[in-house]
């Protein structure tokens, strides 16, 4: 890390080391290898949960919370009343605790919940997370944590306050929960990789709906349309490529000094401003080279299909981890045959939900996922800005600029 602003992000004495982070993820994965019997689920203390954002992923992950057996889905909110009501009907939430409009999250926070799961477009995460922490709640947050640098700093401050107040703050990344990924990373970090020379990450996925713009951005708030809009979703690189960037940081453990790259809009009939094809190079102070390649568009994959991974080329070994495909550590003193990472989208969320419950009920005040979530978000923002400007941007420059992205919320129901 480079300037004082960045250093401040890493001086929180409660922040874990990478080894502690991977160990915690390993423990969570091991704990969830076998599903708990119904009797054990019933014996666990119930957590009153509020869900903010009940669209596709929000409703889906709320169901996973309910299936866990020890969460009471007490309240929920979505900008659209029909979405909130549909989720409420499916989850058995009383109609008096279903809220809508932009301020619906406030009513969820005030409804008597112990914790909130935030699943809205990430533009709203800093505001919602800050309000939840200020109210003394535990926070379960989707990625990316923000769309700009000020948002990342706001999340960092909220997580620090949560830890001070002995509350949990978990960011839902799935790659660190997979048992094959965990074992391979542990071996690599315990001397199994050797000197690291090159990192290669990639993300290949489908396009999300990108219909013509309307009088307000209301139409951009549904069906993951906001992934096409830089201000609302961070853009495709920040919102999606971040999976493999985060995976790389699990081992690299440091942020780049600068980034350069090229990007363009290649998807069919685009209306949002996000680029979707990327070739990016990250430069590190010690000479490490990290290249990232990505494509998001129709004709290759459906939106639910993700081909994302990270490869580490070292002397004498090679490591691959990912969201799917085979995890393997080849060469060196701690070779690992690994295995195929399967169903990580759901399995990883299930593990994180179990970890969140354990930490909340045991008053663990855990925030170990936050550090890498912020660093990966800043790293993707750095790359996005370098590509959009067609110029090299340093990490220090990005933080010094502290650029805010603003979405036009005029005409929306407050």
Question: pLDDT value at position 7?
Answer: 33
Residue 368 has pLDDT above 50, yes or no: yes
My answer on whether 99 and 194 are in the same domain is no
Of 377 and 301, more confident: 377
My answer on whether 161 and 232 are in the same domain is no
Tell me, yes or no, whether 327 lies in a domain: yes
Last residue of a domain, one of 353, 369, 385: 369
Burial-class residue 341 by CB neighbours within 10 Å (0-12, 13-18, 19+): buried
Helix (H, G, I), strand (E, B) or coil at 89: helix
Question: pLDDT value at position 268?
Answer: 87
Mean pLDDT of 295-316: 79
Evaluate the omega torsion of the peptide bond into residue 127 and state whether it is cis, within 30 degrees of 0.
no
Q: Give me the long-range contacts of 333-337 (CB less than 8 A, separation at least 24).
A: 333/191, 333/192, 334/187, 334/188, 334/190, 334/191, 334/192, 335/192, 336/183, 336/184, 336/187, 336/192
My answer on whether 160 and 200 are in the same domain is no
List, edge to edge, every strand of the sheet that includes 98-99: 98-99, 71-77, 47-52, 115-118, 138-141, 169-171
Report the Cα 234 to chain-centroid distance in Å.
12
CATH number of the structural domain spanning residue 93: 3.40.50.720
Which pLDDT tens digit goes with each residue over 230-286? 999 999 999 999 999 999 999 999 999 999 999 999 998 999 999 999 999 999 999
Question: pLDDT value at position 77?
Answer: 98
Tell me, yes or no, whether 225 lies in a domain: yes
pLDDT over 90, % of the chain:
85
Strand partners, 260: 281
Mean pLDDT over the full length of the chain: 90
My answer on whether 57 and 152 are in the same domain is yes
Mean pLDDT of 95-101: 98
My answer on whether 248 and 123 are in the same domain is no
Strand partners, 278: 263, 294
Residue 30 has pLDDT above 90, yes or no: no
Structure tokens at 12: 């929180």
Tell me, yes or no, whether 353 lies in a domain: no
CATH number of the structural domain spanning residue 322: 3.30.360.10
All residues at 6 or more sequence positions from 8 whose CB lies less than 8 Å from its CB, including other chains: none
Question: pLDDT value at position 206?
Answer: 86
Residue 12 has pLDDT above 90, yes or no: no
Question: pLDDT value at position 44?
Answer: 81
For residue 206, what are the domain limits?
176-344+373-401
My answer on whether 261 and 283 are in the same domain is yes
Tell me, yes or no, whether 352 lies in a domain: no
Put simply, whether the predicted model's pTM sits higher than 0.75 gets the answer yes
Question: pLDDT value at position 302?
Answer: 54
My answer on whether 123 and 199 are in the same domain is no
Poorest-pLDDT segment among 31-35, 295-299, 360-364 = 31-35
How sure is the predictor about 9, in pLDDT bands with cuts at 50, 70 and 90?
Answer: very low
Question: pLDDT value at position 152?
Answer: 98
In whole angstroms, what is the distance from residue 147 CA to residue 168 CA?
Answer: 22
My answer on whether 307 and 204 are in the same domain is yes
Mean pLDDT of 208-225: 96
Question: pLDDT value at position 306?
Answer: 66
């Amino acid at each position: 890390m480079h300037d004082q602003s960045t250093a401040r992000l890493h001086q929180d004495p409660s922040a874990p080391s990478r080894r502690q982070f991977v160990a915690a993820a390993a423990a969570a994965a091991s704990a969830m290898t076998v599903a708990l019997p119904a009797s054990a689920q019933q014996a666990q203390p119930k957590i009153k949960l509020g869900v903010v954002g009940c669209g596709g992923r929000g409703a889906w992950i709320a169901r996973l919370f309910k299936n866990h057996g020890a969460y009471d889905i007490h309240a929920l909110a979505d900008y659209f009343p029909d979405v909130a009501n549909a989720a409420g009907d499916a989850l058995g939430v009383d109609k008096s605790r279903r809220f809508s409009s932009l301020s619906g999250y406030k009513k969820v926070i005030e409804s008597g919940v112990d914790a909130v799961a935030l699943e809205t477009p990430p533009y709203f995460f800093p505001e919602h997370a800050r309000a939840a922490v200020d109210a003394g709640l535990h926070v379960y947050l989707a990625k990316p944590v923000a769309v700009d640098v000020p948002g990342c700093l706001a999340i960092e401050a909220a997580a620090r306050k949560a830890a001070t107040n002995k509350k949990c703050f978990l960011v839902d990344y799935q790659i660190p929960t997979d048992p094959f990924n965990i074992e391979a990373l542990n071996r690599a970090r315990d001397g199994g990789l050797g000197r690291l020379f090159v990192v290669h990450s990639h993300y290949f996925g489908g396009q999300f709906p990108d219909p013509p713009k309307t009088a307000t951005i209301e139409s951009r708030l549904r069906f993951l349309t906001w992934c096409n809009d830089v201000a609302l979703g961070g853009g495709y690189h920040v919102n999606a490529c971040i999976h493999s960037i985060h995976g790389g940081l699990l081992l690299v453990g440091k942020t780049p000094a600068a980034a350069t790259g090229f990007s363009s809009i290649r998807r069919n009939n685009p209306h949002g401003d996000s680029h979707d094809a990327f070739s990016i190079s990250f430069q590190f102070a010690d000479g490490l080279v990290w290249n990232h390649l990505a494509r998001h568009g129709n004709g290759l994959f459906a939106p639910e299909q993700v081909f994302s991974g990270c490869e580490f080329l070292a002397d004498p070994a090679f490591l691959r981890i990912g969201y799917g495909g085979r995890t393997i550590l080849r060469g060196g003193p701690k070779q690992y045959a690994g295995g195929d990472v399967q169903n990580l989208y759901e399995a990883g969320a299930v593990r994180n939900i179990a970890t969140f419950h354990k930490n909340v009920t045991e008053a663990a005040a855990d925030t170990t996922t936050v550090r890498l979530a912020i660093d990966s978000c800043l790293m993707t923002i750095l790359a996005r800005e370098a590509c959009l400007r067609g110029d090299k941007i340093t990490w220090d420059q990005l933080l010094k600029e502290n650029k805010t992205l603003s979405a036009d919320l005029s005409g929306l129901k407050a």
